Structure 1
């Protein structure tokens, strides 16, 4: 077998059994070119090769090659095949291969995107992008006509980041659809889109999207360097790119956002972030990202600022509840019973009287049970998945309490913890909390509240040391920049957010005019 597709950094030169074909300049002989092409791509059933002769072009031998399923058949027939078979009126009876090549490219093909190539290495990537290759006999150069038109999913509402008020369309698996959705929202000549091909075997399209003059040049330079340094066989989803370029190393916290909402990406780009769209997945990336970006939702800017601020504070509260509630319950019931009111302590003691398990084992049993039910609900068919997860949680929880395996208070604690975890808008940070929660439970069972506070201090120090492409993870709180706190814990009115935060840009830039607060008629703005 040639090579190993599972290797992260394939270096073909270290495998003596694998022959690496060198550059192949196109030969004037059409037969030689087709033979070399057949050796490179094989004789797969979906590859269509057709040869013919155009008598009006001095009986010029022609061949066109395309991959069925990646092209639009109507465009191939009407834009390539039909024009090449038509009789052309010439001023002279003889025409050279070079003149025929330019006539076909500039006059005969009614297709906008036509590219040239003099080696197979230049033409083959375009073949797999849905282009139709056109080779001519007697000439060492070919052309590729853009006939791409494979089947793709229509634009639907995002499934992982729903909103009540706001746009209802999300990214699809098509890279070009994603860039066009951003173009519709950012109608400015400053929008830049750079495309890369990453993955030696998948040749996955990756688009880097940013606003010239707003995105930091240092951040752009670093992202480009990391993308160009990726050496792998395959890129099948955005997480491949995320793991190759993210900061942090061994950390449970994500340093790059992912989103399937074009409006969320457009908002991030307007703030100075850089978008990364990957072909084949509806989840795009935003970098650099701070800890507080993961608690902001698109809907925060689609409703009143007071409601948005209230909901954002609820998210931060849910973050701490999801991370600390089971650990606090274990610590208090195990080591610090004196902190509870007497009535509550008696009630908890009565509930735990017949429970044979310690508080840690009780919490682990319920947490793992809920995680199993959640995974089962995701993997089950959609028609019965929610019913199984809800009924399973109710039945198992009630049965566990009646059997005396767990206390009713523990069921309440675990249930409220799980619900709080779903409040956080970013699934990446919510999954991080799930891992931290188990560590906190073990520490609480051994060291009590002292262990919890010590671990929180260590966690805070770790977060303060994280960077996302050079941006401090806790900025603008650490380091503290008070004037940039208008959109962190609460959201002030839009007319009061006149400047973009320099935590991402490295510089202040104005995004709107001053004195935009509405005033009654006749009053001067303050």
Structure 2
């Protein structure tokens, strides 16, 4: 299968469209007044842009300027570690007597005066604006054709809290935030390995959003890492507001209801993915981190599966797959059986269903579509309304409307049960985007059942299987390890075997350091004999 980046380059050549070239940068001038005027002209007279001009030095007076944006920097940090050393330390120390000419004073500021960890030399006005708008402080020195960028980012942000979309009973309660540095720190705190790599890029012509690629150098496939780099480099958009922008722009297949890029708020999930050889994409401004490749089985797993015992996790995972099938097929199966295959039902049940539907003016498919659409509207309304009344409106609305529809004779009581069971089953699926996929496909299966009965459902399932097996996520088959079948990876799919048996990493994703767990099988006989020997003594 040809890589997406190769296909894009070929299409650009066919359309005679040159690839995007980097903008030419304007070098800095030695005249401080000129630089300040240019910065003011480019940024405008915004009140939050602070330009502090000063004169430092005892004997030779040298003009400098400090530029930052109020609200993006830590003002106390700027005052204590930049302004105070510049205004007082130099004058009161022997540095004030040094000849303040040429590059010597430039080196004095860099090596002796600025007590700050993150310091970068800038050579162009574009780099200066980028750093200032990113929350750094830039220091200009009169007579120098370069400037300092000082790391002073310190805007207000949300603290580390429990994830709202992936809650667990047992497990870490920490979740990602909207600050990329906080998110990378949460990952590094869990992986104290020199092979953990972070690569930073900026995406968005206007937003210049910070994006980080995280991977384990000794575990991740270099081809997948390079593919991630290539796809991100091809993004040419003015603004990136959330990771969903990048997810849609780098996914393998757009004409599919199934997600091929995984997103999560949980640091432990990202760490688990990195340990399998996957690549994480961290976007500044969102608490959701992307993971690739993403396979179908990943969306049916939860981090809590690995914090509980293997038998409990296996039972819950089997319930998820059952709920997935119920959410997808229960309404269509009801329509098919009641419309075309009444002989499949026991006589007593058939009589009961017929009595309920006696006064209903609509066929079963119209009845199901009305109830499904009504419930989807109620669910969306519950999400968008204020949190204090959203849940109450959705629950009360469903009860009131369902009961009123049954009493009015518009909907049968059995249909209310079928739709409720389907809705509850969709909430069992761990990932919201996979749940949405089942909600979309459900309507297609209902139409097939109303048209062809059970034969239509079987045709729909065959088409669904063919579609799933044709999907790929960054070159990896979407249905692995089921198709192609990889027996060594089946121990963490439908069932979750004990941890001492899960000793290898996924083979299609990771080809390096396959063995991840060398813990031997617990020997209960040996341990019991030691305990008994201790009792005898």
TM range (shorter): over 0.9
Change beyond 3 A, Cα 1:267–1:91: closer
Residues 367-422 of structure 1 show CA distances to partners (whole Å, capped at 9, x for unaligned) of 11111111111111111111111111111100000001100000000000000000
Report the Cα distance in structure 2 between the residues aligned to 1:202 and 1:57, rounded to whole angstroms. 44
- 1:71–1:149: 8 Å Cα contact kept in structure 2? yes
The match for 1:375 among 368, 374, 380 is 380
Whether the 8 Å contact between 1:57 and 1:100 is mirrored in structure 2 is no
Corresponding position: 1:177 with 2:177: no
- Measure the CA separation in 2 of the matches of 1:412 and 1:57: 88
Distance 1:70 1:140 in 2: 26
Match in the other structure for 1:50: 52
Aligned to 1:223: 228
- C-alpha separation in 2, matches of 1:90 and 1:190: 42
Please report how far the alpha carbon of residue 472 of structure 1 lies from its aligned counterpart in structure 2 after TM superposition: 0.5
TM-score (norm 2): 0.92
Give 5+ residue unaligned stretches, structure 1.
1-19
The one-character-per-residue Cα deviations of 1:150-171 (angstroms, maximum 9, x if unpaired) are 0010111000000000001100
**Cα displacement (A) at 1:22:** 5.0
Please state if 1:121 is matched with 2:122.
no
Task: Give the match for residue 520 of structure 1.
Answer: 525
1:104-134 residue CA offsets vs partner (Å, 9 max, x unmatched): 1111111111111121122221112211111
Q: CA 1:21–1:291 in structure 2 vs 1: closer, same or farther (change >3 Å)?
A: closer
Inter-CA distance 453–131: structure 2 relative to 1 (3 Å threshold) = same
| Mean CA deviation greater in 370-379 or 401-410 | 370-379
What SS does structure 1 have at the residue aligned with 2:214? strand
Is the contact between residue 218 and residue 512 of structure 2 (CA under 8 Å) also seen in structure 1? no
The structural deviation recorded for 1:55 is 3.6
Question: 1:97 Cα deviation (Å)?
Answer: 3.6
Corresponding position of 2:155: 150
**Closer, same or farther in 2 for the Cα pair 1:427/1:120, shift >3 Å?**
same
Contact 1:256–1:289 at 8 Å: present in 2 too? yes
CA-CA distance at 1:45 after TM superposition? 1.3
Give yes or no for the alignment of 1:305 onto 2:310.
yes
Q: Which residue of 1 aligns with 2:503?
A: 498
Counterpart in the other structure of 2:65: 63
C-alpha contact 1:322 1:418 (8 A) present in aligned 2 = yes
CA contact (8 A) 2:48 2:69 kept: yes
How many residue pairs are counted as aligned between the two chains? Answer: 506
- The answer to whether the 8 A contact 2:59-2:97 is kept is no
Number of the residue aligned with 1:289: 294
Cα distance in 2 for partners of 1:207, 1:171 equals: 14
Give the gaps of 5 or more residues in structure 2.
Answer: 1-21, 530-537
| Contact map agreement 2:72 2:154 (CA 8 A) in 1 | yes
Alignment of 1:55-94 (within 5 A): 55-56=57-58, 58-86=60-88, 87=91, 88-90=93-95, 92=97, 94=99
**CA offset at residue 507 of structure 1?**
5.1
Residues 333 and 472 of structure 1, relative CA distance in 2, 3 Å threshold: same
Q: 1:205 aligns with which of 189, 210, 224?
A: 210
Within 2, Cα distance between the matches of 1:444 and 1:91? 87
Could you tell me which residue of structure 2 aligns to residue 8 of structure 1? none
Indicate the SS of the match to 1:399. Answer: helix
Structure 1 residue 521, shift from structure 2 partner: 2.8
| Separation of aligned partners in 2, 1:513 and 1:93 | 63
- SS class of match (1:494): coil
The corresponding residue for 2:140 is 135
SS of structure 2 residue aligned to 1:314 = helix
Counterpart Cα distance in 2 of 1:431 and 1:91: 67
State the 1:253 CA deviation: 0.7
Q: Per the alignment, in what secondary structure is the counterpart of residue 269 of structure 2?
A: helix
Alignment of 1:394-433 (within 5 A): 394-433=399-438
Residue equivalent to 1:106: 111
- Asked if 1:263 corresponds to 2:282, the answer is no
Structure-1 residue corresponding to 2:7: none
Which residue does the alignment assign to 1:12? none
In structure 2, distance between residues paired with 1:93 and 1:306? 74
TM-aligned CA distance change 1:247 to 1:22, over 3 Å: closer
Q: 2:279 aligns with which of 266, 274, 281?
A: 274
**d(CA) in 2 for partners of 1:93, 1:357:** 94
Which of the numbers 29, 32, 35 marks the counterpart of 1:33?
35
Q: Which residue number corresponds to residue 314 of structure 1?
A: 319
With the length of structure 1 as denominator, give the TM-score of the two structures.
0.94
Alpha-carbon distance in structure 1 between the residues aligned to 2:109 and 2:169 = 53
Q: 1:468 to 1:90 in 2, by over 3 A?
A: closer
**Structure 1 position 93, deviation (Å):** 5.8
1:23 to 25, 30, 38: 25
Measured in 1, the distance between the counterparts of 2:127 and 2:58 equals: 29
* Aligned-partner SS, 1:176: helix
Q: Which residue of 2 aligns with 1:477?
A: 482
Question: Residues 522 and 343 (structure 1 numbering): CA distance in 2 closer, same or farther, change over 3 Å?
Answer: closer
SS in 2 for 1:350: helix
- Equivalence for 1:459: 464
Structure 1 CA distance for aligned equivalents of residues 421 and 471 of structure 2: 30
Does the aligned pair in 2 maintain the 1:330–1:360 contact within 8 Å? yes
- Report if aligned partners of 1:60, 1:97 keep a CA contact under 8 Å in 2: no
1:357 is aligned to 2:375: no
- Report how far residue 460 of structure 1 moved: 0.4
Pair 1:62–1:513, CA change in 2 (3 A): same
Distance in 1 of aligned mates of 2:336 and 2:461: 14
